[in-house]
Structures are given as structure tokens and as C-alpha cells.
Amino acid sequence: MQKIAMISLGCSKNLVDSECMTAILKKSGYEMVNDLSLADCAVINTCGFIESAKKEAIDTILDVASMKKPNGNISYIVVTGCLSQRYPEEIKKSLPEVDAVLGTAHYQDIAEIIGKLFKKESFTWNDYIGKPGSLSHMQMDRDISTGSYAWLKIAEGCSNGCAFCAIPRIRGKYISRPMEDILEEAKLLTKKGIKEIILAAQDTTSYGKDLYGKKCLAELLRKLAKIKGIGSIRIMYAYIDGIDDEFIKEMASNPKVLHYLDIPVQHGDDEVLKKMRRRDTVSSITKTLAKLRKAMPDIVIRSTVMVGFPGEKKKNFENLLKNLSIWKFQCLGCFIYSPEENTLGYNMHPRVRKDVSERRYARVMELQQEISLRYNEQRVGKIIRVTIDSPSDDGIFYLGRSYQEAPEIDSVIYVASTNRPLEPGDEVLVKIVDCTPYELTGVTEDESAQ
């Protein structure tokens, strides 16, 4: 039995694709291994969204290539995902170590192409690229790799057409998954012991518009909440213009929907937002945030912004800082603009100098550290409910999250528990005793009383 190693790079949507491919490979009789030194074939599911992601993907391919025969044990390398969709010819020309590629509409062919490699059957790379935009690879009973939580992809692709983003060309137009498929997969996830469902798409708040002629995220939340076994539902990748009164009401009243929302606003200046082809304005962002916080005073809102977009002047950047100070997101990520081929922004000028963009990035993160620290300081001394994800690397603490932290991207809660061992998925009451902008430290409630 041939052994396959799956390496997943990039975002949560990519991880779901990797889990689906793993399920397909297992059903086809392959054995999956985590240790590359045991693998006969390595599948690298890549991100190609921005320059840093492309570099990570290429570096990973080269690292794995060093383990190919005759020096190592790996016979074949298959590259899938965004990088292969964008640059198949470049990969073939510049990375001869790669034996095959799969585009983003061909994940379902992973077992077929690996079979052809091992059987030494001929095939054409272009047969496995094709036009992006497909749900045919989605496996409801996929191979979950995340413990007590799981990502649930509700749509593929994007139709928003932001000037900086190549996703529509890589992933195709927005395609909502049928609601009955999503609900069926959610039921299967609960049977695997999954308690926290995290909804993901390039734009979750557009769910249903293409399929049902209207936004259906609120309806989907109502139906998901009725599934026995789901403990909580977290929503990522929302858009301001998709957050309407029905959605806010459902989020505020549904006991299973966490009061946490990820809204990538991208900037805080109207001139830059317009150039980015964002539909939002500073006013619409401000009003929607106020409505969310009025309906749910305990809501945690995370966001993402970008600095260095072509034409971003000093006054535009100062407006971004000013509005971040007003909006006060509990969590914030920041990117430096990366010019991507086949996007509107690629030919926009003037470009912002790299050193200027880096200084602006540093100022955004410095401001956000102050905001995040103030939020975390308010939590010191409070007792909160924490879900344990894993032991820490040092073996002294456990790593956990409350409803205020999404996995892998937000603050980490270090939990001390010397009275009893904890397991991933355990929910415990924890008293927070210390904090930094990105970490909190606490002890389980029975220990805090000692």
C-alpha cells in the first residue's frame, strides 16, 4: 500500500480542501502518513494569494524535493491548490521536481493522478487545471485534522472583484453549497465529536445569493442551531454590506452562535476603499459596528486591513489610524499590499515605497497592540469558560480558547491545571491572572481558589 503525506498551506478553506483530498485518498486505498520520511508521495496543497504565500509554497516544494529518490524515500510530488491554478506552466518549467499539478477545480482527481504516477501512465498537466470554480471535490465525511473544532466551508470562490485580489481568477465565481449538503456535513461532524463549527467562505454573508436569490446566512444559522451535538457556531469572513438587520437579530438571539465576528474591512479611508473597489465606506463600517455592539455588547470583532495600496497617501493612512482608534477591534491583522498579476491594482500607480509600507505596517500593529492589551487587561481577574485545544509545547500549560478567540489567528490562553489532566475539547472555568497583547494566562477555577 502506497503511503501519502498531505501538506496543507494557507487558509482554512485550503485546509478543508486538504481534508477532502485526504478522505478521497483513503477511500481509494492509500495510507496517509504525517511523517515525510515514511511517504512514497507528497501532496502539497498551496496558497498563492500574495507574494509571501507563493514564497512559502515554493520553499516547501524545494524542501520536500530534497527528500525525493535517490537521496530520499519520496517517489512523487503533486502540487495542488492556488499556486498550481495560477502558475502551472511556470511550475513545470522552473520546478522539475514536481511530477503533477491539480488546479482548484480538480481536487476530486487526486487519487486518479497519483494512481497514474505510480502506474507510470502518461497524462497531460493541462487536463488537471481547467476553469476554476467547483464543489465536486467536497466530501461531507472528510478527514478532520483540527480536534474539537472544524471548519465548515459554505461556499467556494468569490464574485466581489476587489482590486487587490486574485481569488476570483484562482477560485472562480462565488458558488454557494446547497443548504442540505451543509446541514448533512454538520451532522457528520458532530458524530466525530466536533462541538465548535466555524463557517468559512471568501464571503460568508453572501451565502445563498447565487443559489436562492437572497442572502441566507441567517436561515442557515437557524437550521444549524437545531442540530443536536453542535455546541457553538463561529462566523468568519463576513462583509460589512452583508450584515443586515436579519443577520444581526439572528446572531444576537441564537444561543449557539458565538458573539464573535470576523469582518475584513481592509482600510479606513474612503478614497482608498473606493480604489480598492470595496463597496463599504467609513460611514457604513462605523454604523454597522455600532449596530452589532448595541445588539451584542459582549461581541468580539476581528478585522484585517492593508497598507501600501497604490496611491495610499499619508493623509489616507492617517485616516486609517484614526478610524482604527475609533473602531477598536479586539483583534486585527495587517498586510502590506502585494501587487498580483491579473488584478486591477497591479497596474495602478503611484506605488507606495516598500520602506514606507513597512513603517505604516509597524504603526498599525503598534496601535493594535495597545488596543488589544487594554481589552485583555479588562479580562484579568475574571473567570471565563475555556475550551482546551492541546498541551503547550513546554508541557507546563494547556492551550485554550474562549468564545473571544478563533483558533490559530487570535490570542492564546495558557491554562495551568495541576489538580487534574485536561484533554482537547474539555471545557473548564479559568481565572485569568496575567496578560500580554496576544496571550492570556489563567488557572482552572478550583486552583484559583487555593
Four-way CATH pick for 383-448: 1.20.1270.30, 2.60.260.20, 2.40.50.140, 3.30.420.40:
2.40.50.140
Question: What CATH code is assigned to 3-128?
Answer: 3.40.50.12160
Res. 356 pLDDT band, cuts 50 70 90: very high
* pLDDT computed for residue 448 by the predictor: 52
Give, rounded to a whole angstrom, the gap between the first and last alpha carbons of the chain: 55
Res. 132 pLDDT band, cuts 50 70 90: confident
Q: Which fold has domain 149-377?
A: pyruvate-formate lyase- activating enzyme (3.80.30)
| Sheet strands (E) in 223-337 | 232-235, 257-262, 300-307, 331-336
* pLDDT computed for residue 127 by the predictor: 87
Q: Which long-range contacts (CB under 8 A, 24 or more apart) does 394-400 make?
A: 397/441, 398/422, 400/428, 400/430
Q: What are phi and psi of 37, to 5 degrees?
A: -70, -10
Average per-residue pLDDT for the chain: 94
pLDDT in tens, 304-334: 999 999 999 999 999 999 999 999 999 999 9
Q: Which residues contact 150 (CB under 8 A, 6 or more apart)?
A: 144, 189, 192, 194, 196, 197, 198
* pLDDT computed for residue 138 by the predictor: 83
pLDDT in tens, 155-210: 999 999 999 999 998 999 999 999 999 999 999 999 999 999 999 999 999 999 99
Q: How far apart are CA 384 and CA 381, in angstroms?
A: 10
Question: For the ranges 70-79, 124-133, 289-298, which has the lowest average pLDDT?
Answer: 124-133
- Contact yes or no for 331/410 (Cβ under 8 A): yes
Domains 3-128 and 383-448 share a fold: no
Of all residues in the chain, what percent carry a pLDDT higher than 70? 99
Residue ranges of domains in the chain: 3-128, 149-377, 383-448
Burial of 350 (0-12, 13-18, 19+ CB in 10 A): exposed
Q: Using the predicted structure, report yes or no on whether residue 236 has a pLDDT greater than 70.
A: yes
pLDDT in tens, 398-433: 999 999 999 988 989 999 997 889 988 899 999 999
pLDDT in tens, 268-280: 999 999 999 999 9
Tell me the mean pLDDT in the region 390-401.
90
- Contact yes or no for 282/240 (Cβ under 8 A): no
Q: Using the predicted structure, report yes or no on whether residue 131 has a pLDDT greater than 90.
A: no
pLDDT in tens, 278-293: 999 999 999 999 999 9
- Contact yes or no for 424/147 (Cβ under 8 A): yes
* pLDDT computed for residue 450 by the predictor: 46
